[in-house]
Structure 1
Amino acid sequence: MALRRRAKQARASGAARGKWLADVFMSIAPRVPIRDLSTLQEHHYGLTGEELAEDLIRTAAKATTAVGAVGGALAAAEFAAPPLLLSAPAQLVAETLVVAAIEVKLIAELHEVYGVAVPGTPTQRALAFTTAWSKQRGVDPLTPGSVTIALGTAAKTALRNRLMRTLGRHLTTLGPFLTGAVAGGTLNRMATRRLGRAVREDLRRQRALPPG
């Protein structure tokens, strides 16, 4: 109910929605749990290197697929019911935030796999990985300003735009019957895989690892 109430408050314009989404996500990002390399290997049956990176991407894609599919199924169940008019905005916001968190976690853990250390406090690292997500690429710790204590204007704009594009993608879950579930799951899976591959290429170049 709180999420729905706050979403209504941000419904005045696209810019307001984007700013509100970015503010909410930045309060969430530092709390996303990031596993270190040894924990990742333990959780993924001893895989290392490229095999571990591929398994992380596959797992994240399954998770975002499930988010889209569940959202679509909920919309299908409520499609002809008036309550959908009230529940849909909060549902879409929740899906967007969950998918963003899954993908930011994926980016952070791919950096662990490739040994690209991102320095700073947990909040600074969260900012760096969130900025990387908004740009759909890896973090280059050698680039000035890659790890900061606050998002600059350009980074905030990129984050708002990325969140709004993700929110727009989840509009597909409002299709009738189960078409929304299929579309939402498929689009999420494709987007997460594309992100994972783009970040891998960046990190490979940084660490000069051979392609898998």
Structure 2
Amino acid sequence: MNQPLVVGVAGRRVGTRKVMGLIRRRRRQDSVPEPAGEDVAGELAALATEMERDLPEASPAVREAWYRRKGGQRARELIRTLTRVLGRSGLVAAKGAGWGGKALADRLLLAAPRIPIRSLATLRAQHPTAATPEELAELISLGACRSSSALGAGAGAAAMLPVPPAMALEIAAETLSVAAVEIKLIAELHEIYGMPAVGTVAQRAGAYVGAWADGRGIDRAALIRPASLAALAVGSEVRQKLRKRLTRSTLRKLPSLIPLLIGAGIGATMNRRDTRKLANQVRADLTGHKVLDPGYWAAAAPAGERAVEA
């Protein structure tokens, strides 16, 4: 009698014994997720930089078309790379939403220190026309909104010919990619408003991940006490909030899987709206506090502008 055929995690038809072997191997692998890789970090940085370009001479329609085209290209590369990584690590939704939330949280915490965060000096050098923190914050927020929108459209377009195992990986890849874009946004807004997190790279990254899980800026009291920041970065409460936020985000992305490109429009709109809401909340939190160093903005000016600002 032939073995019953079942669909494997990569979409192949394999025998039951082979599936059980795959599950046993993956149980051993799942406890230590593999890093996301430098390709993902590089593509994330490229997407953010591309989406922040001003294009002052172009008409609004031409600008939006350019952002959609360029953003779509970068987003597809990013999701494609991350989907391959997740596929190799065996991260699929077949084990249930609770397991999926934990696996995504572990993956995000592992990758967070690799998310490229620009210093205020770098941001000011890249955007010399921004004369105030508010102007620079708006440019960065717009870039993040365009990036998350492009990622939503990219994942939706990939669902034109849906295959369940591949769809699970696409959703996971988009969820993690948008989370990384928004964590990067939160961190750079803290730089712009003169309230960056302190501590080791891992502690700072963990604090920004916690802020993303809360959907808020980091509390000022924690910013001035490294011990408090370290507790935020590794606390079980933060991990629980992160799992819930990622699970909720994953479920919200299901409409983007509607085929015939309808899902692409839904995913793009939802992502842009959610990222804008987050940016506005974090900016409101940060502007409501006194900066730690009143001279931080002038100190980060490009060399040619320091004398003028002084």
Same fold (TM over 0.5): yes
Residue of structure 2 in register with 1:190 after alignment: 273
Contact 1:118 1:125 in 2 (8 A): yes
Q: Which runs of 4+ in 1 moved over 2 A?
A: 143-146
TM-score by length of 1: 0.90
**Partner letter of residue 269 of structure 2?**
T
1:7-156 → structure 2 map (5 Å cutoff): 7-8=91-92, 11-47=94-130, 48-76=132-160, 78-79=161-162, 84-143=163-222, 146-148=228-230, 150-156=233-239
Distance of 1:53 and 1:179 partners within structure 2: 32
Contact 2:256 2:264 in 1 (8 A): yes
Q: Deviations over 1:123-156 (max 9, x none)?
A: 0000000000000000124136641165212111
Structure 2 runs not aligned, ≥5 long:
1-83, 295-310
Contact 1:117 1:141 in 2 (8 A): no
Contact 1:116 1:207 in 2 (8 A): no
Distance of 2:141 and 2:275 partners within structure 1: 7
TM-score by length of 2: 0.62
* Alignment RMSD: 1.8
Q: Secondary structure at the match of 2:289?
A: helix
**Partner letter of residue 147 of structure 1?**
L
Larger radius of gyration: 2
- The number of residues matched between the two structures is 203
Residue of structure 1 in register with 2:37 after alignment: none
Q: Secondary structure at the match of 1:176?
A: coil
**Partner letter of residue 103 of structure 2?**
W
Task: Mark the CA change 1:2 to 1:204 in structure 2 (over 3 Å): closer, same or farther.
Answer: closer
The structure whose RCO (Cα within 8 Å, separation 6+) is larger is: 1
Distance of 1:193 and 1:2 partners within structure 2: 28
Distance of 1:13 and 1:85 partners within structure 2: 14
Residue of structure 1 in register with 2:288 after alignment: 205
Q: Secondary structure at the match of 1:7?
A: coil
Distance of 1:72 and 1:110 partners within structure 2: 29
**Partner letter of residue 61 of structure 1?**
C
Distance of 2:219 and 2:86 partners within structure 1: 34
Task: Mark the CA change 1:168 to 1:45 in structure 2 (over 3 Å): closer, same or farther.
Answer: farther
- Indicate the larger mover: 22-31 or 136-145: 136-145
